[in-house]
Amino acid sequence: MTDIYLNGEYVGLVKDPKDYVHRVIQDRRKGKISQLLNIHYDEQGDRILIDLSKGRTRRPLIVVNEGRPLLTEKHLEQLKRNELSWSDLLSQGIIEDLDANEEESAYVAFTEADLTPEHTHLEISPLAMLGLSTSLVPYGNYNQSTRLNAGSKNQKQALGFYAANFAVRLDMDVNLLHTPQVPIVKTVMHDISDYQQHPAGQNMVVAIMSYGGYNMEDAIVINKSSLDRGLGRSSYYRPAVAEELRYSGGLIDEISIPDKDVKGYKSEHDYRLLTDDGIIFPEAKVAEGDVIIGKTSPPRFLSSMDEYNLASSTRRESSVSIKHGQKGIIDFVIISENEEGNKLVQVKIRDQRIPEIGDKFTSRHGQKGVIAMVVPQSDMPFSVNGIIPDIIFSPHGIPSRMTISHLIELIAGKTGALSSRFIDGTTFNGESEEDLRAELKEQGFRENGVETMYDGVTGKKLDAKIYIGNMYYLKLKHMVANKLHSRARGPIQLLTRQPTEGRAKEGGLRLGEMEKDTFVAHGASLLLKERFDSDKVVVPVCEKSGLMGYYDNYKKQFMSPIHGSDAEISLVEISYAFKLFLDELSSIGVYPKIKLTNKY
Amino acid sequence: MEELFKQYQEDISPLLMEEIKSLIPPKTGKTKVKAILEQVKKEIALSSVDPGECVGMVSAESLGEPGTQMTLNTFHFAGVAEMNVTVGLPRIIEILDGRKTISTPTMEIYLKGAAAKGTGIKKIAARIKETRLVELIASIETNIAEGLIEIELNQETIKDMELTVPGIAKLMEKAVKGWTLKYDKNIFTLKAKAKEDTINALYKTKEKLKKLFISGVKGVTQVLPVKHGDEYVIVTFGSNLKDLLKLDFVDGQRSMTNDIHEIAAVFGIEAARQAIINEVFKVIENQGLNVDIRHIMLVSETMCISGMIKGITRYGVVNLKSSVLARASFETPLRHIINAAMIGEQDHLTSVVENVMINQPVPVGTGLPGLVTEVKMKKKD
């Protein structure tokens, strides 16, 4: 007797488990019981597992009977004529969904040619083994799996056309490619996923060669004239929001141009773009520091004394302004109310991004690279037909990574562009390389995709024939404009008086422990000291008590924490972090005595 | 001529001087010899470290950076599954931490005479491997009713091991006192002298006997004869130099262990210092990395300078540091600070870490020399 478990709960016993399972499956295929049911006989544990629970991952497979798939040509034709739907196939038991358990007892053929009488199921398409974005990689079956991973990861970061109503949306951190294109080399997944509706790249002419060493280490050289024509151009949108918050005591924020006597008033120049309602006007050009929404808040701590003062004089400035290192144009302004009935002002800022040195591009094969050089068209190499590449890609990226699909896409893209048709590059089922080569030859090109090219600078013929063709390139969201950062002086932290951290806070670049070691190893002792001078302070040290003293502004003299005005004070230069350390020692009950001697 | 050499004995080490003496052809002119010595002196000056050079930091970087590239943790002896030797980064960490018990102690034993050529190598290997009584036992039984332990030994094994039954009996008598031992050929019977012995004692004695050490070198659990060039060497798992060197067929001058602490105990600290250098260098060479041996020498000397092996840990060399702040900045700061506060320790701010902390020039390189002109201070009244 074999136990039966339904959704993990024991429900009963059965005499002949194999026959039972067979009967249940047959009934499911006939539609007598739910299609959502999965059954599996676990021979080792001698138990039958029936599952109807939620959240199982199931995958569709074609049912095979005695080495023949139930899905026939007749069905396919009916499907084409729209006489049959997916759910019809399911209810007729031609296709069924298996879960992880039932999959264990299935013997699945990868292709129809592999079928033997023992097989129970047939894969609908070999592509089913890949996920959505991985199946967007053309000719993926020529690649190492790690490259497929990288390729599909890159696609998720590509700029494209994310939503048709982008013009009225207020999303955080959005990029939009100006002239997106559908790839010449497509896969089935491009059609299934309606890729035409949200393309995310452009077809570019790619030459695989080096260009004066400017494309070493995965970098790419890009054609300046192509950029001028709009290649890879995108917009970057970010919102700015201000709300009239209500505070206890009936006090409220006010969106308006702040009065000059407001606490924290910026300069008049900063408010110049605000209209009478205190909000910036659309299409205004803004740069770092400009106020977008003028706002004032009531004083933070309202004591009884303050009530006698004039309201405005104690109000705080709390405007929203453009942050450090950012610029743009105001796209539109929305004035509305939020759920609590507070006035809400939202502003969308737009910034055009023309590809520049440091922007990241990639093909669909995990061959990402950064622009290292923008070259005028006149200096780019050209072919006999006068074709000038948009991008020059380094050949050194190919051997170690073994991305054969990258090379095949190039030749497929070239063929597709010349015969003005789309090429099917679906993984496992793509158009064959030989066919593409033959077609390329028919078009009057070398069948291996190389062309004689001439140096744009000297006009001399290049010794080597250059592999050139069309490829679908993606602009990735990592752009230097969002990352470039430097600092000579700027904000410091309150506690340690050391520079703040991070680009957003205009922070310093840390000279860390290991970097310090290199200075020491070089014996550059004084340079090291200078590097660490960012938090230096001069503290008065009382030599009597060995503690740090302070300056008394009333008595106009230095004081010792123990001996008061009767102190022997010496001024010592140390780092503020060390002063803090000594204070912390005092707080744990350790008396750090400083003994001063002259160093020289 | 001798006078000339004496002139330079301050600048040229005795060993080097001897070498120069042996290399100079006889009847060389005095001026020529002087020129040679002058050149040698110059070369020594050029190749010596500059004052204020931060040798420790350079060594740390030179060892630390290749450490990030190390792979493969164990080395497998072909054919013997259980014989793995720790190499790579874990081995370096083990050595530099100065661990008392290392993960895979091994010895490389060189042999004297004919054995080195491979004659009777298996027998010799068997003599080195430690043998316990269990390995000789064919059957062991306890007779609870009469309070007896009956042991039957495997005669063939005894023969192979070149042991004798009376010899084994002697060892057994020594091990278990208070028992009478009788043996007939290869069958031993033990009976307790005291009458009140319990079953428990019977069992304990049985277990004790099983573990009885019979022959070989204690601690050596595995032996493997290997051919090094045209000479046979025995590689062992488990290390015991002290007992090994007592064996007459072992070449004590070349046999080695990888247990640094054992070397320190048997040969002294200087040998241990050299052993650390050899072991670390062996690992680095093995990995195909290139580190100058002088960096390793510096580390090794630092570890051995106190006369004992101190690891590069907070209990080892770091604990030897005089500065409270330097110790506190390494590990467990609070402990160091509170201990220092309790005994009123002083920190003279003489090394690198402290000066970085208080933002003063570190006393290496350009920060080392003081001002050339003396600053005259106003006298305090």
Q: Which residues pair with A501 in a beta bridge?
A: A508
Question: Do residue B363 and residue A516 have CB atoms under 8 angstroms apart?
Answer: no
Residues from chain A that touch B55, judged by Cβ atoms under 8 A, are none
Instruction: From residue A144, give the alpha-carbon distance in Å to each of A135, A157, A412.
Output: 14, 21, 20
Residue A132 lies in a domain: no
Same domain, A224 and A365: yes
Give the model's pLDDT for residue A308: 56
Same domain, A339 and A361: no
Would you say A179 and A229 are in contact if contact means Cβ atoms under 8 Å apart?
Answer: no
Same domain, A577 and A521: yes
Question: Do residue B57 and residue A520 have CB atoms under 8 angstroms apart?
Answer: yes
- A481/A356 Cα distance (integer angstroms): 9
End-of-domain residue from the set A68, A94, A124: A124
Same domain, A557 and A515: yes
Q: Is the pLDDT of residue B276 over 80?
A: yes
End-of-domain residue from the set A353, A369, A390: A353
- Mean pLDDT (whole number) for B14-34: 88
- Mean pLDDT (whole number) for B124-141: 84
- In this complex, is the C-beta atom of A591 within 8 Å of any C-beta atom belonging to chain B? yes
Would you say B93 and B190 are in contact if contact means Cβ atoms under 8 Å apart?
Answer: no
Phi and psi (nearest 5°) for A545?
-95, -15
Would you say A9 and A49 are in contact if contact means Cβ atoms under 8 Å apart?
Answer: no
- A414/A435 Cα distance (integer angstroms): 13
Question: A residues 505-544 near B, CB within 8 Å?
Answer: 516-518, 520-529, 532-533, 535-536
SS3 content of chain B, % helix, strand, coil (to 5): 45, 15, 40
Per-residue pLDDT in tens (0 to 9) along chain A, 600 residues: 889 999 989 999 999 999 999 999 999 998 899 999 999 999 888 899 999 999 999 999 999 998 899 999 999 999 999 999 998 898 888 999 999 999 999 999 988 888 999 999 999 888 888 889 999 999 999 999 999 999 999 999 999 999 999 988 899 889 999 999 999 999 999 999 999 999 999 999 999 999 999 999 999 999 999 999 999 999 999 999 999 988 887 888 899 999 888 888 888 899 999 999 999 999 999 998 899 999 998 887 655 555 555 544 578 889 999 988 889 999 999 999 989 889 999 999 999 999 999 999 999 999 999 999 999 999 999 999 999 999 999 999 999 999 999 999 999 999 999 999 999 999 998 999 999 999 999 999 999 999 999 999 999 999 999 999 999 999 999 999 989 999 998 999 999 999 999 888 889 999 998 999 999 999 999 999 999 999 999 999 999 999 999 999 998 999 999 988 888 899 999 999 999 999 999 999 999 999 998 765
* DSSP assignment of B111-166: B-GGGGGTTTHHHHHHHHS-EEGGGGEEEEEEETTTTEEEEEE-HHHHHHTT--HH
The CATH number assigned to the domain holding A205 equals: 2.40.270.10
Would you say B127 and B141 are in contact if contact means Cβ atoms under 8 Å apart?
Answer: no
The CATH number assigned to the domain holding A252 equals: 2.40.50.150
Token pair of A46, please?
Answer: 């001698």
Give the model's pLDDT for residue A311: 47
Q: What ipTM does the predicted assembly reach?
A: 0.76
Largest CA distance in chain B: 102
Would you say A143 and A398 are in contact if contact means Cβ atoms under 8 Å apart?
Answer: no
Domain boundaries, position A209: 140-233+357-475
In one letter, which amino acid is A535? D
Q: Is the pLDDT of residue B176 over 50?
A: yes
Q: Is A218 a catalytic residue?
A: yes
Give counts: helices (H), strands (E), chain A.
12, 35
Measured at the CA of A534, the angle between CA A532 and CA A539, to 5 degrees, comes to 95
- A403/A185 Cα distance (integer angstroms): 16
Same domain, A150 and A228: yes
SS3 A347: strand
Residue A48 lies in a domain: yes
Q: Using CB atoms, which residue from A522, A529, A595 is nearest to B360?
A: A529
Question: Do residue A574 and residue B365 have CB atoms under 8 angstroms apart?
Answer: no
Give the model's pLDDT for residue A579: 94
Token pair of A337, please?
Answer: 């109310």
Q: Is the pTM of this model over 0.90?
A: no
Burial of A565 (0-12, 13-18, 19+ CB in 10 A): exposed
Smallest CA-to-CA distance from B259 within B215, B219, B222 is with B219
B53–chain A nearest CA distance, Å: 6
Question: Do residue B334 and residue A588 have CB atoms under 8 angstroms apart?
Answer: yes
Residue A187 lies in a domain: yes
pLDDT, tens digit, 9 for 90 and up, residues B325-379: 988 888 888 888 999 999 999 998 888 889 998 888 888 888 887 666 666 777 6
Strands A382-383 and A453-454: antiparallel
Smallest CA-to-CA distance from B306 within B272, B267, B263, B347 is with B272
Q: Is the pLDDT of residue B178 over 80?
A: no
- Mean pLDDT (whole number) for B96-110: 90
Token pair of A253, please?
Answer: 């924020």
- In this complex, is the C-beta atom of B346 within 8 Å of any C-beta atom belonging to chain A? yes
Q: Where are the beta strands (DSSP E) in A324-427?
A: 328-337, 343-353, 360-362, 368-375, 382-383, 391-393, 423-424
Residue A441 lies in a domain: yes
Residue A228 lies in a domain: yes
Q: CATH says B59-104+258-320 is which class? A: mainly alpha
Smallest CA-to-CA distance from A474 within A576, A364, A556 is with A364
B296–chain A nearest CA distance, Å: 16
What DSSP element (H or E) covers A418? helix A404-418
Same domain, A370 and A228: yes
Same domain, A404 and A270: no
Same domain, A389 and A467: yes
Q: Topology of domain B324-367, per CATH?
A: DNA polymerase; domain 1 (1.10.150)
Smallest CA-to-CA distance from A582 within B159, B347, B66 is with B347
Same domain, A228 and A361: yes
Q: Where are the beta strands (DSSP E) in B63-118?
A: 74-76, 84-86, 106-110
- In this complex, is the C-beta atom of A573 within 8 Å of any C-beta atom belonging to chain B? yes
Question: Do residue A525 and residue B366 have CB atoms under 8 angstroms apart?
Answer: yes
- B48/A218 Cα distance (integer angstroms): 43
Residues from chain B that touch A585, judged by Cβ atoms under 8 A, are 337, 341
Same domain, A67 and A175: no
Same domain, A347 and A409: no
At a CB cut-off of 8 Å and minimum separation 6, what does A187 contact? A127, A135, A136, A137, A138, A424, A425, A426, A427, A430
Tell me how crowded residue A419 is: count the other CB atoms within 10 A of its CB: 14
Same domain, A391 and A368: yes
pLDDT, tens digit, 9 for 90 and up, residues A286-296: 998 899 999 99
Instruction: From residue A464, give the alpha-carbon distance in Å to each of A208, A209, A214, A415.
Output: 11, 9, 18, 21
From A95-104, A398-407, B147-156, B282-291, the region with the lowest mean pLDDT: B147-156
The CATH number assigned to the domain holding A558 equals: 3.90.1800.10
- Kindly name the residue from A218, A277, A379, A424 that is annotated as catalytic: A218
Phi and psi (nearest 5°) for A13?
-125, 155
End-of-domain residue from the set A442, A475, A508: A475
Question: Do residue B359 and residue A533 have CB atoms under 8 angstroms apart?
Answer: yes
Token pair of B18, please?
Answer: 């001897």
Phi and psi (nearest 5°) for A312?
-65, -35
Domains in chain B: boundaries: 2-47, 59-104+258-320, 131-215, 324-367
Residue A484 lies in a domain: no
Would you say A126 and A110 are in contact if contact means Cβ atoms under 8 Å apart?
Answer: yes
Token pair of A537, please?
Answer: 């302070």
Strands A47-51 and A2-6: parallel
Residues from chain B that touch A578, judged by Cβ atoms under 8 A, are 357-359
Give the model's pLDDT for residue B154: 84
CATH assignment of B131-215?
A: 3.30.1360.140
Give the model's pLDDT for residue B42: 92
Residue A262 lies in a domain: yes
